Every structure is written in structure tokens, then in C-alpha cells.
Chains A and B, each alone.
Chain A
Amino acid sequence: MNRALRRISLACLVMFVLLLANANYLQGFAANNLANKPGNSRTFSQQFQYQRGSIVTADNKTIAESRPVKGIYKYQRYYPDGTVYAPVTGYDSIYSATGIEQAEDRLLSGSDPALAVHNLVDMITGKPKKGARVQLTINSAAQQAAYDGLKAMGLQGGVVALDPRTGAVLALASYPSFDPNDLATFNGTQLIKVDKKLLADPNQPLRNKALDDTFPPGSTFKIVTSSTAFSSGKYTPTTRVFAPTSLTLPDTSNKLINFDGEGCNDGSNPTGNGKVPLIYAFTVSCNTVFGDLGMHLGGAALRSQAVKFGMNDPNLTIPLPVAQSNYPPVSTPAFTAYSAIGQYNDTVTPLQEAMFSAAIANNGTLMKPYMVQKVTAPDLASLVTANPTTLSQTVSPEVAANVKQLMISVVQSPAGTAHATADIGNLDIAGKTGTAQNGINNTGLDDAVFTGFAPASNPKIAVGVVVRGGGQGADASAPIAVKVIQAYLASLARQ
């Protein structure tokens, strides 16, 4: 029987060798593959086992941090002033993440290769792993003013403020907003409930209206039309242009009219069929003038100028992804006339509005917008520092100076559309209003749009504001822009 027993011993040995080999394969070789399976609860919960990096504003206000808690997870995300900063931070829930939480996840979580050496040192010295701290370009005063302004209107809308010299995003507000703390819960049932409620809200609080939603630019697009005109070399601000009270569009029975059907008359055009200086048409925002001008310049020229301002770019990230602002493909002259005054199929994000002003303010050079100023490792070593880059040279400095002159006139000349609401104190604002008609036959409420920068002599901030259904840009949007500018310039003065 011993021969059989020896063979059985061999069989037992084989069984144990198989078990050992399989365990080694599983825990040694297959470990990485398994760790990346989507259903792996351990990998998933791991992100709450150590401190995720904080997100802070440029002026060092903490807007997202991980606080120690009791339970399965050691840390929970907390957002001070969550509602104000929700479009910036986004949220980090147990199922998904948005905003900076998503865009900078690898650094915040500490899994970025840039942190590999730090993690190794921490592991050897026994220190718990920690994520990197992300400092944004957001200015807390500007952000608060932007959100408060939108909230006071009580309508859907977005505000973006840029530093025209660098492209740094100073404010990024969206209304209505949500409290990301509600989504940072570890209670799955509660989370699904909150998520369902937010998704069912007709005002779509989860949508970042500053970046994800597009609106018709309305008359603010006249900045692009003017830039195209000056760049053609045939126009200056004082060039007299055809200013009919009503412009019949070629090959259609449609007539383009001014706001409320008014004439475009600075005193030199009493017939309503003569000419006015371009700067006057811009200041009071005559649709007929710019419709006619657009047809003369041609759709192709307008479109190429719009692209230089950053439109039709589906790939812009700041690092949050930005919806594409759209200038439609070249069509008939009639459509070009509509496009030239920001109607028909033109759509822009509030960020794009800010970019129009920022480019003009920065002598025609459009800087690429960015939000992350600096990323520091837990040991304070700098991992990433923002390096402002040029997105495009939209117009020559001379043309930019001409457009700037037009925009100053809108705010600072008594006839200007924004004179009453934006010519406040000695802020020295330059801008352009827009009242975008909406809906079939303009039955919808007008969207209020404003874009501007200040101080006009030495621009430090450019703002784009869109309030959906806000009525006239001058009334609804310009005051919000003024408040943001005021708050930002005041905070600069304090520093």
C-alpha cells in the first residue's frame, strides 16, 4: 500500500503547489488588473481612506477640504461656501466627480505620477499618504460678488471674470447652484435621492451655466463685427456707415429693425436713410447698421474673426471642459446679417463673452483661460505652476484700440446703452450690452448679456455675464458685471 500512499502524497503536493501558484498569480500578477475593475469596492473606498488635497482660491480661501470622520471612510469631503463655489469645485461623490474635483483628481488624490516619489518617501517614513493642494486663480471677492449678483436676479445665468493679461479665471459663477456637501455623503440611498432631486429641477442646478450652457450673444457680437470691419482696413470709428431705420434683407421679405423699431440717428440722420459714424452705431447698438456692415464684410470674414476670438472650438479646457461657442457656417447674406448682430445660430458661453472683452482689453492678444494657479505636494514642493499662454492674436493692437474706444463709448458717453447702469464712480469700465431675442418670433424672454473690462486705461479684469430671460443686457447683466469689477478691484487695492 505504501506505493499508493506515496503517489497520494505526490497528488497532495501537486494540490498544494497549485494553490500556492494560484495565490501568487492572483496577489502578485493579477493584482493591478483586478484593482482597476470598475466594481472593486476596495480600490474605490481607498480614496476616502486618506486625506485628499484641498482646493483653495488665489487668496487662500479653502473651498474644498477632506475632514477626518468616523466610520468605514476616514475622510469626508467638505465644501465651505459650497453653493457659491459649486461650478468651480464640482463635487466628489462616492459615484462620480465633476469640476476641479474631476479635472485635477489625480493630483488631489495623490495618484498622479508627479507624486510617486513623495508617496514612496511617505510610505518609507510611515507618514499617511496625502493628496496635493490645488490653488486656483479664483478671487473669492469676485466669485462672491458674481454669485450674489446672479442670486439677486433669481434667474438662470452665468458669470465669468478673467484677468485679460494672463487668462486667469477670477470668477466662475452659475445660478441656480447646488450644495456639493449634499453629494459628498457616504449614504448611497441619500445620495441617489439628492441626485434625483437635482436632476429633476427644471432650472438644472447641476449644469455649470458659465461653461456648459450657450446663449445667443445678441449685440455683444458687434464687437466681433467691428473687429472684422477695422481689420479690413476700410473702417475707422468715425467712418460714416449706412444706418437705415429698417433694413430689408436680400432675397427675403424680412426686415431687420433696431430695438423697438427706433431710428439710428445721432442728429445727422433725420431721414432714417442716411449715415452715422460707426462709433455712434456701436454706442447705441443699431442692428440695421451692423446687419448691413456684416453683409458688406461677408460671412467668411466674420466667421474667421469669430474663430480667432475662440468660437467654434470644441476642445477648450480650462481644465474644466468648455462647451463650444458657435458661429454657424457661412450661408446667405440675409443670415450673415443676422449673425453679424449675434442672432440666428450664434451661441456663446458666458466664458466666451468674457473672452471677447479680454482679447480687446489685452491689445488683441487672447490669453488661454485657466483656473489652476499652483499645485503643491503635501511637503510643500511645487508640482505645477501655471504658465499663461496665448490662445490667439485676435486683432492687431491698433484694431483693438479702435474697438476699445467703441466699448468705452458704450459705457461712458451719455447716449451709450450701458451708461446708466455701468458708468459707476471712477471704475472706468468699457463694455457692450446685448439683448438676445429668444424663441419663435422672439416670443421668449430676452436673454440679458453684458461683456466688459476695467479699468479701460489699464485693464485688470474682463467680465462676461449672461442672465437667461433677464431682459435688456444693460439692466440685468451690466450691474452684475459692475459689482464683480468693483469687488475685484477693491480686493486688489487691499493687497
Chain B
Amino acid sequence: MLVFVLVVVMFAYASVGLGLNGKVPAGMFTYGISFAVIVGAAHLAVRRLAPWSDPLMLPLAALLNGLGIVMIYRLQESGRAGNAGTKISTMSSSTTAFQVMWSAVGIVAFVVVLALVRQPRTLQRYTYTLGAIGLALVVIPAVLPASLSEINGAKVWITVGGFSIQPGEFAKLALAVFFAGYLVSKRDVLALAGRRVLGIDLPRARDLGPVLIAWGASLLVLVFETDIGTSALFFGLFVVMIYVATQRTSWLLIGVGLFVFGSLTASKLFNHVGARFKAWQDPYSAANVFCNPATQHHCVSSYQLAEGLYGMTFGGVLGRGLGQGQPYWTPLVQSDFIITAFGEELGVTGLMALLIIYGLIVQRGLRAAIAVRDPFSKLLAGGLAFVLALQVFVIVGGVTRLIPLTGITTPFLSQGGSSLVASWMLIALLMRISDTARRPAPQPIQDEGMTQVVRAG
């Protein structure tokens, strides 16, 4: 499987070079071998640390990571050294090298998580610690001054000495563990039915506390960090986990209702939310494309969205071919909009393949959740798999204009270290849980006649 992944990635890499300037890229073997070594190391670690884990997850994640590196290389090389296209000013000539380095860091984090968390239940001990860490990570960018926390208008960063991380990516994981731990202990209380209205069992009013707190927190993120995507992610994660824990549809309805109410109120109260909605309704009109937030109020330019959509339709069914599209028209195409570059150069065919890879990872995660016996692991795996699906839905749906655009990263593909490392950690947790689920039960001692031997290990 992994060899197949490597072949696909190397082939894509060569294709980029051929598309850009008719030559096989010089760095192909350097990057290719680095990537092969990283992925090989991950494979060996999995064989050793989680031998029973789902065999499909690592190759799928590695394939996404590898294709992401290839696309970032393609975007970085655009317009440089006599290549076709125009230079993307927001990328430097070392962007790909950094991405490969971050992939290595991500794999190390992956191995570390597998090594430290030998049993998923270990994490349950740190429920509140991780909850506090998660909350802190969410809040820090909101309280930091903009100079330390704002990049390209998104106040979701922590910048220290030219080095930036997006704490929200890690908060997602910490909060998933916290929710799982919290809900496992409180699920019986939360599942208690209150009144029955229209055939739905409503929870007791006093049990609404936690969901209201989560709702409030996500709204705060929305307001102070102008980051609808992340807030939707957190809230969606919480609502789904509470639903899985209690099996009460009422929680789901309450959650969705609160989110819709919250978003509508926010779009009325906060101009940036309403403006995004307007840009979504008609991204092609000159008024929306050329609106300038610096001089106009209530305005979010739809230029990036429109260019991304033009790019995808330019690619059509089969795509322009790697290196042969014009993704450089879309500003910051290497981060949130990288999926449109794939759509442009690999067509809807390639895009569907990518979505199916995500879908397979999610499905494998949910299968592990169903298979594992321990409720904490069940909740955690379900939540993690769902949050991955939700993240893909929010960003891919956003850039393809299925839903209003909110800027969050595309797992494994987007340029940037935080997202990559956090995504690898998420895969590590899912694989750990699947390893637990699939590990054969200890052999019962069959032969009563023999002396009982306590097996070591």
C-alpha cells in the first residue's frame, strides 16, 4: 500500500515538472526520498507500536500528505526559473522544504502519540487537564494583541519570533478528549429525559448547562477571532459527541437550533459575518469581487472565492494537468484554497478521488469507534472522525460555494505546520483506538490440567 502511495506521489511530482517546463524536476529525488524515509519510519513505528491498527489509515493519510507536498511544490515553482505562470508572492522558494520538514514533525508527533498513548483510556485521566489546555489554546489568540495573533485578517495565530502556530488545530484534539472524558462520566445524567414535546424527549433544563457553555464559547471564538469555521467545528464536535453519548436526538436538535440561531444573530450583529454571506450569494458580481474592506464597511471581497471557482471550472472534468492550470490567480491558493488548485489541475475526477480518500479515513475512524468496546474510546474515535469529516465539509463546501466560505485549513493538503502536525496526531489517536478495537482478546487458558502459568507481558 505504502509503496503504491509513494509511486503515485512520485508520478505526480514528475508530472508537475513536465507540466511546468517539460523537465522532470531536479528536486524530485531529494523530496521523494525524504518523503519515502518519513513514511517508511511511520510504517515501522506502526508495526511496532500498534500492529493491529487499521492498515488503510496510514497509507491514505500519507497519500494526502504527499499530494499536498506535490501541489505546494507546483505552486511554489509557478513563474519561477522560467516556469509557466506567475510567481505566487505569498510563497517563498523554501515553502516546499518547510512543508516536508513539517511532515517529518507531523510523523514524529504521530509516533510520539502512538508511543505515549498505549491504551486510549490513559487519556481519560487527563480529561480536565486537556480541557483546560484546549480552552487556553482557543482563548490565547483572542486575547493576544493583533500583532501577535493576526495573519491575513484571521486572528487565530500565536506568533513568537517569526514562528507561527495555529493553536485551534491542537485545541480541536484536546477538546475532543475533554468532551469524551466529560461525557462518559456525565452521560447518564444528560440522558435523563425531561418533558416530552412533539415526540421528542427534551433534557431537563438544568442539564442544558454544558451545551450552553460550549455554545457560548464557540460564539466567543466567532466574535473575537472572526473565525466562523473553527467555532462551527468546535460546536459541531461537541453536539455530535453529546448525541453519541446520550443517544438523545433532542440534543442534536437543540445544538443545531442553537447554532442556526447563533449564526443568524451573528450575521445581523457582526458585519463580517453578514458580508461573508453576501459574498457567498453572488461571488461573481463586480461589487463583491472588488469590494475593499479597508475602505468600505460591511464588506468581504469575494475575489478569492470567485477565482477559486473559475479555476475549478477551468479544470472541468479531467483537469488541466499538474503544472498546466493557472491556480496562481487565486490569492493564498496554497492554504485554504488548495482544493481548488487540485480541482483545476486534476479536474473533478481528481477532486472526487481526494474526497473519497477523506471519506475512507472518516469511515475507518467511525468503524473503529463502533468496534471498540470501551465507551471513552468509542466517543473519542467518533468525535475525531466526525470532526475530520466536518472540517473537510466546511472548507471544501466553502471553496466550492456549497456553504458560505469560512477559512479553515484542508487537513493534510494545506500549507502550514500546525494543521499537518495536528492531523497526524488525529490519525495517531484513531489508529490507536482501531488497534485497541482489533487487538485479539488475550487467549483464555485452554488446558486446565497443566500448571497455570501467568503470562508475562
Query: Complex formed: what's the CA distance from A18 to B393 in Å?
Result: 9
**Considering residues A4, A26, A31, which has the most beta carbons from chain B within 10 angstroms of its beta carbon?**
A4
The residues of A that contact B289 with a CB separation of less than 8 Å are: 39
Give the contacts of B11-32 with A (CB-CB under 8 A). none
The residues of B that contact A494 with a CB separation of less than 8 Å are: none
Query: Complex formed: what's the CA distance from A5 to B397 in Å?
Result: 23
A315-338 vs B, CB cutoff 8 Å, 1 = contact: the mask equals 000000000000000000000000
The residues of A that contact B316 with a CB separation of less than 8 Å are: 27-28, 31
Give the contacts of B135-192 with A (CB-CB under 8 A). none
CB-based contact A42/B311 at 8 Å: yes
The residues of B that contact A4 with a CB separation of less than 8 Å are: 243-244, 247, 382
- With A15-B393, A16-B355, A16-B389 as contacts: A35 and B247 at CB distance below 8 Å: no
Query: Complex formed: what's the CA distance from A5 to B381 in Å?
Result: 10
CB-based contact A35/B244 at 8 Å: no
Query: Complex formed: what's the CA distance from A360 to B244 in Å?
Result: 94
CB-based contact B310/A26 at 8 Å: no
- Whether B262 is near chain A, meaning CB under 8 Å from some CB there, is no
Smallest CB-CB separation from B367: which chain A residue?
A: A9
Smallest CB-CB separation from B290: which chain A residue?
A: A39
- Whether A1 is near chain B, meaning CB under 8 Å from some CB there, is yes
B245, chain A: closest CB distance, angstroms: 7
A236, chain B: closest CB distance, angstroms: 66
CB-based contact A28/B348 at 8 Å: yes
The residues of B that contact A8 with a CB separation of less than 8 Å are: 240, 243-244, 366, 382, 386
Query: Complex formed: what's the CA distance from A41 to B329 in Å?
Result: 8
The residues of A that contact B317 with a CB separation of less than 8 Å are: 27-28
CB-based contact A12/B400 at 8 Å: no
Query: Complex formed: what's the CA distance from A9 to B363 in Å?
Result: 7
- With A19-B396, A37-B310, A39-B284 as contacts: A12 and B244 at CB distance below 8 Å: no
Query: Complex formed: what's the CA distance from A242 to B245 in Å?
Result: 114
The residues of A that contact B244 with a CB separation of less than 8 Å are: 1, 4-5, 8
CB-based contact A70/B400 at 8 Å: no
- Whether A192 is near chain B, meaning CB under 8 Å from some CB there, is no
- Whether A71 is near chain B, meaning CB under 8 Å from some CB there, is yes
- Whether A34 is near chain B, meaning CB under 8 Å from some CB there, is yes
CB-based contact A12/B366 at 8 Å: yes
A45: which of B326, B362, B366, B402 is its contact (CB, 8 Å)?
Answer: B326
Give the contacts of B376-408 with A (CB-CB under 8 A). 378-379, 382, 385-386, 389-390, 392-393, 396-397, 400-402
- Whether A389 is near chain B, meaning CB under 8 Å from some CB there, is no
Which of B55-63, B82-90, B447-455 interfaces with chain A? B82-90
- With A39-B306, A42-B310, A42-B314 as contacts: A23 and B343 at CB distance below 8 Å: yes
A23: which of B351, B362, B379 is its contact (CB, 8 Å)?
Answer: B351
- Whether A74 is near chain B, meaning CB under 8 Å from some CB there, is yes
- Whether A443 is near chain B, meaning CB under 8 Å from some CB there, is no
Give the contacts of A71-87 with B (CB-CB under 8 A). 71-72, 74
Query: Complex formed: what's the CA distance from A16 to B357 in Å?
Result: 11
Query: Complex formed: what's the CA distance from A1 to B183 in Å?
Result: 12
- With A5-B366, A27-B351, A42-B311 as contacts: A15 and B358 at CB distance below 8 Å: no
How many residues in B have their beta carbons less than 8 Å from beta carbons of A? 56
Smallest CB-CB separation from A2: which chain B residue?
A: B370
Smallest CB-CB separation from A70: which chain B residue?
A: B82
- Whether A6 is near chain B, meaning CB under 8 Å from some CB there, is yes
The residues of B that contact A40 with a CB separation of less than 8 Å are: 310
How many residues in A have their beta carbons less than 8 Å from beta carbons of B? 37
- Whether A190 is near chain B, meaning CB under 8 Å from some CB there, is no
Query: Complex formed: what's the CA distance from A72 to B328 in Å?
Result: 10
- Whether B315 is near chain A, meaning CB under 8 Å from some CB there, is yes
Query: Complex formed: what's the CA distance from A40 to B307 in Å?
Result: 7
Smallest CB-CB separation from A33: which chain B residue?
A: B313
- Whether B299 is near chain A, meaning CB under 8 Å from some CB there, is no
A402, chain B: closest CB distance, angstroms: 61
The residues of B that contact A39 with a CB separation of less than 8 Å are: 284, 286, 289, 306
CB-based contact A27/B379 at 8 Å: no
The residues of B that contact A197 with a CB separation of less than 8 Å are: none
Smallest CB-CB separation from B326: which chain A residue?
A: A42
- Whether A415 is near chain B, meaning CB under 8 Å from some CB there, is no
- Whether B51 is near chain A, meaning CB under 8 Å from some CB there, is no
CB-based contact B392/A1 at 8 Å: no
The residues of B that contact A491 with a CB separation of less than 8 Å are: none
Query: Complex formed: what's the CA distance from A34 to B375 in Å?
Result: 49
A165, chain B: closest CB distance, angstroms: 49
Smallest CB-CB separation from B285: which chain A residue?
A: A39
The residues of A that contact B315 with a CB separation of less than 8 Å are: 27
A390-423 vs B, CB cutoff 8 Å, 1 = contact: the mask equals 0000000000000000000000000000000000
Smallest CB-CB separation from A35: which chain B residue?
A: B313
Query: Complex formed: what's the CA distance from A2 to B378 in Å?
Result: 9
> Could you list 18 further interchain pairs (A-B, Cβ under 8 angstroms) beyond the known A1-B382, A20-B352, A23-B400?
A1-B379, A2-B370, A2-B378, A6-B370, A9-B363, A15-B389, A16-B392, A18-B397, A19-B355, A23-B351, A24-B352, A26-B400, A35-B313, A39-B284, A42-B326, A72-B84, A72-B85, A72-B86
Provide a sorted-by-A list of 22 A–B residue pairs whose CB atoms are within 8 angstroms.
Answer: A1-B244, A1-B375, A4-B244, A4-B247, A5-B244, A5-B369, A5-B370, A8-B382, A12-B366, A15-B389, A15-B392, A15-B393, A19-B393, A22-B400, A26-B401, A27-B348, A27-B351, A28-B317, A31-B314, A37-B310, A39-B284, A42-B326
A-B CB proximity, top 8 nearest: A27-B348, A31-B313, A34-B313, A12-B389, A4-B244, A15-B393, A22-B402, A42-B314
